[in-house]
Structure 1
Amino acid sequence: MSPTASRRDVNTQSNYNELVTTHAQVDLSVDFENRLLGGRVILDLAAINETPVSEVILDTSYLKVREVGVNSRPCEWKVLPRSEPLGSPLKISLEKAVSKERQSGDNSLYSFRQDIPIPSYLFALASGDIAKASIGPRSTIATSPELLEAAKWEFEQDTENYIQSLERIVYQYQWSEYNLLVLPPSFPYGGMENPVYTYVTPTTVSGDRENVDVVAHELSHSFSGNLVTAATWADFWLNEGWTTYLERRLQAALFGEPHRDFSAIIGWKALCESVKEFGDHHEFTKLIPDVSGKDPDDAFSTCPYEKGYTFLSYLESQVGKEKWNQYIPHYFTTFARRSLTSDEFKQDLHTFFASDSAATAMLNAVDWHQWFYSPGLPPKPTFDTSLADVCYSLAAQWEQIGSRVFKPSQDDIAGWKANQVVVFLNAVQDFVEPLGEENAQKMGETYGFFKSSNTEITARYFGVGLRSRAKVVYQPTADLLGDVGRMKFIRPLYKQLNAADRELALATFEKNKDFYHPICRSLVEKDLAVKRDQ
Structure 2
Amino acid sequence: MKTSTSIIYLLLLIMTSCAQPKAEEPVVYIYVEEPHSYAKPNNAFIKHLKLDLTVDFKTEVISGKATYDIKNNNSTQIILDSKFLDIEAVNADGKETEFSLGANDKILGQPLTITISRDTKQIEIIYKTTKDTEALQWLKAQQTADKTDPFLFTQGQAILTRTWIPIQDSPQIRLTYEANVQVPKGLMAVMSAENPKEKTENGMYHFKMQQPIPAYLIALAVGNFDYKAISDRTGVYAEKSMLTKVHDEFSDMEKMVTAAEQLYGDYDWDQFDVIVLPPSFPFGGMENPRLTFATPTVIAGDKSLTSLIAHELAHSWSGNLVTNATWNDFWLNEGFTVYFEMRIMEALYGKERANMLAAISRQDLNDELENLKDTPSATKLKLDLKGKNPDDGMNSIAYDKGYLLLRTLEETVGREKFDAFLKQYFKEHAFSTITTDKFVTYLTTNLLQKNKLTFNIDEWINQPGVPQNQAIINSDKFKIVEQTLEEFIATDKIDKDMTKEWTSQEWVHFIRNFPNTMTADQMKALDTVFNFTNSTNSYIQMVWYEQALNYDYHGKNVDKKIETFLTTVGRRWYVETIFKAYKRNDRMEDALKIYEKSRPNYHSVTANTIDMLLGYEPEPEVVILEK
Q: Which string of whole-angstrom CA distances, capped at 9 and with x for unpartnered residues, describes residues 194-239 of structure 1?
A: 0000000000112222111111100000111001100000111110
Is residue 483 from structure 1 mapped to residue 574 from structure 2 by the alignment? no
On the 8 A contact 1:76/1:93 being kept in 2, the answer is: yes
Is residue 217 from structure 1 mapped to residue 311 from structure 2 by the alignment? yes
SS of the residue 1:165 aligns to: helix
Distance 1:184 1:434 in 2: 39
The one of 498, 506, 509 aligned to 2:595: 509
Q: Which string of whole-angstrom CA distances, capped at 9 and with x for unpartnered residues, describes residues 66-99 of structure 1?
A: 1111111111101111113211111111149988
Q: Letter of the aligned partner of 1:84 in structure 2?
A: K
Is 72-81 or 316-325 further displaced after alignment? 316-325
Question: Following TM superposition, by how much is the alpha carbon of 1:283 offset from its aligned partner in structure 2, in angstroms?
Answer: 2.9
Distance 1:352 1:479 in 2: 52
Please list, as runs of the form range in 1=range in 2, the aligned pairs for 1:337-376 lying within 5 A after superposition.
337-353=431-447, 356=450, 359=451, 361-362=452-453, 365-376=454-465
Question: Following TM superposition, by how much is the alpha carbon of 1:517 offset from its aligned partner in structure 2, in angstroms?
Answer: 0.5
Distance 2:77 2:599 in 1: 40
Is residue 14 from structure 1 mapped to residue 12 from structure 2 by the alignment? no
Find the counterpart in structure 2 of residue 383 from structure 1: 473
Distance 2:465 2:374 in 1: 4
After superposition, the CA RMSD in angstroms is 2.2
Find the counterpart in structure 2 of residue 75 from structure 1: 97
Distance 1:288 1:79 in 2: 32
Q: Which string of whole-angstrom CA distances, capped at 9 and with x for unpartnered residues, describes residues 301-354 of structure 1?
A: 111011111111112222221111111111011110000111111212233248
- Structure number with larger C-alpha Rg: 2
SS of the residue 2:565 aligns to: helix
Describe the shift of the 1:381–1:317 C-alpha distance in structure 2 as closer, same or farther (beyond 3 A).
closer
Distance 1:169 1:285 in 2: 30
Question: Following TM superposition, by how much is the alpha carbon of 1:374 offset from its aligned partner in structure 2, in angstroms?
Answer: 1.4
The one of 427, 450, 463 aligned to 2:533: 450
On the 8 A contact 1:410/1:446 being kept in 2, the answer is: yes
SS of the residue 1:495 aligns to: helix
Find the counterpart in structure 1 of residue 208 from structure 2: 113
Is residue 94 from structure 1 mapped to residue 136 from structure 2 by the alignment? no
SS of the residue 2:100 aligns to: strand
Distance 1:105 1:314 in 2: 49
On the 8 A contact 1:5/1:340 being kept in 2, the answer is: no
Find the counterpart in structure 1 of residue 224 from structure 2: 129
Question: Following TM superposition, by how much is the alpha carbon of 1:408 offset from its aligned partner in structure 2, in angstroms?
Answer: 2.4
Describe the shift of the 1:4–1:282 C-alpha distance in structure 2 as closer, same or farther (beyond 3 A).
farther
Q: Which string of whole-angstrom CA distances, capped at 9 and with x for unpartnered residues, describes residues 108-160 of structure 1?
A: 2211211110000000000111211112231121011221121111112x111
On the 8 A contact 1:449/1:461 being kept in 2, the answer is: yes
Q: Which string of whole-angstrom CA distances, capped at 9 and with x for unpartnered residues, describes residues 163-190 of structure 1?
A: 1111100111111110000001000100
Is residue 519 from structure 1 mapped to residue 605 from structure 2 by the alignment? yes
Distance 1:33 1:258 in 2: 51
SS of the residue 2:221 aligns to: coil
Q: Which is strand-richer, 1 or 2?
A: 2
Describe the shift of the 1:299–1:101 C-alpha distance in structure 2 as closer, same or farther (beyond 3 A).
closer
On the 8 A contact 2:104/2:110 being kept in 1, the answer is: yes
On the 8 A contact 1:258/1:387 being kept in 2, the answer is: yes
Distance 2:415 2:30 in 1: 29
Is residue 394 from structure 1 mapped to residue 484 from structure 2 by the alignment? yes
The one of 240, 244, 260 aligned to 1:166: 260
On the 8 A contact 1:188/1:486 being kept in 2, the answer is: yes
Describe the shift of the 1:381–1:533 C-alpha distance in structure 2 as closer, same or farther (beyond 3 A).
farther
Is residue 237 from structure 1 mapped to residue 331 from structure 2 by the alignment? yes
Distance 2:480 2:377 in 1: 36
Distance 2:447 2:29 in 1: 22
Question: Following TM superposition, by how much is the alpha carbon of 1:8 offset from its aligned partner in structure 2, in angstroms?
Answer: 1.3
Is 104-113 or 383-392 further displaced after alignment? 104-113
Q: Letter of the aligned partner of 1:186 in structure 2?
A: S
Find the counterpart in structure 2 of residue 54 from structure 1: 76
The one of 494, 498, 504 aligned to 2:579: 494
Find the counterpart in structure 1 of residue 276 from structure 2: 182
Distance 1:261 1:209 in 2: 17
On the 8 A contact 1:441/1:465 being kept in 2, the answer is: no
Is 277-286 or 442-451 further displaced after alignment? 277-286
Q: Which string of whole-angstrom CA distances, capped at 9 and with x for unpartnered residues, describes residues 338-395 of structure 1?
A: 0011111121223324873xx1x31xx2222211121234445311321211111122
Distance 1:180 1:72 in 2: 38
Distance 1:353 1:500 in 2: 50
Distance 1:282 1:33 in 2: 47
Distance 1:78 1:65 in 2: 10
On the 8 A contact 2:448/2:455 being kept in 1, the answer is: no
Distance 1:500 1:531 in 2: 19
Is 470-479 or 187-196 further displaced after alignment? 470-479
The one of 79, 82, 85 aligned to 1:63: 85
SS of the residue 1:173 aligns to: coil
Find the counterpart in structure 1 of residue 493 from structure 2: 407
Distance 1:288 1:328 in 2: 20
Distance 1:442 1:434 in 2: 15
Find the counterpart in structure 2 of residue 143 from structure 1: 238
Find the counterpart in structure 1 of residue 625 from structure 2: none
Q: Which string of whole-angstrom CA distances, capped at 9 and with x for unpartnered residues, describes residues 218-262 of structure 1?
A: 000011100110000011111001111111111122222233322
Find the counterpart in structure 2 of residue 439 from structure 1: 522
Question: Following TM superposition, by how much is the alpha carbon of 1:488 offset from its aligned partner in structure 2, in angstroms?
Answer: 1.3
Structure 2: runs of 5+ lacking an equivalent: 1-27, 128-179, 185-201, 621-627
TM-score with structure 2 setting the length: 0.79
On the 8 A contact 1:434/1:468 being kept in 2, the answer is: no
Is 241-250 or 107-116 further displaced after alignment? 107-116
Is residue 193 from structure 1 mapped to residue 287 from structure 2 by the alignment? yes
SS of the residue 1:66 aligns to: strand
Distance 2:49 2:617 in 1: 38
SS of the residue 1:117 aligns to: strand
Is residue 288 from structure 1 mapped to residue 377 from structure 2 by the alignment? no
Find the counterpart in structure 1 of residue 505 from structure 2: 419
Q: Sequence identity, in percent?
A: 29
TM-score with structure 1 setting the length: 0.92
Describe the shift of the 1:100–1:327 C-alpha distance in structure 2 as closer, same or farther (beyond 3 A).
closer
Distance 2:214 2:295 in 1: 22
Question: Following TM superposition, by how much is the alpha carbon of 1:4 offset from its aligned partner in structure 2, in angstroms?
Answer: 8.3
Distance 1:278 1:355 in 2: 34
Is 273-282 or 486-495 further displaced after alignment? 273-282
On the 8 A contact 1:252/1:260 being kept in 2, the answer is: yes
Distance 1:222 1:99 in 2: 30
Question: Following TM superposition, by how much is the alpha carbon of 1:265 offset from its aligned partner in structure 2, in angstroms?
Answer: 0.6
SS of the residue 2:491 aligns to: coil
* Equivalent residue pairs, number: 516
Find the counterpart in structure 1 of residue 63 from structure 2: 38
SS of the residue 1:136 aligns to: coil
SS of the residue 1:89 aligns to: strand
SS of the residue 2:78 aligns to: strand
SS of the residue 1:44 aligns to: strand
Q: Higher relative CO (CA 8 A, sep ≥ 6), structure 1 or 2?
A: 1
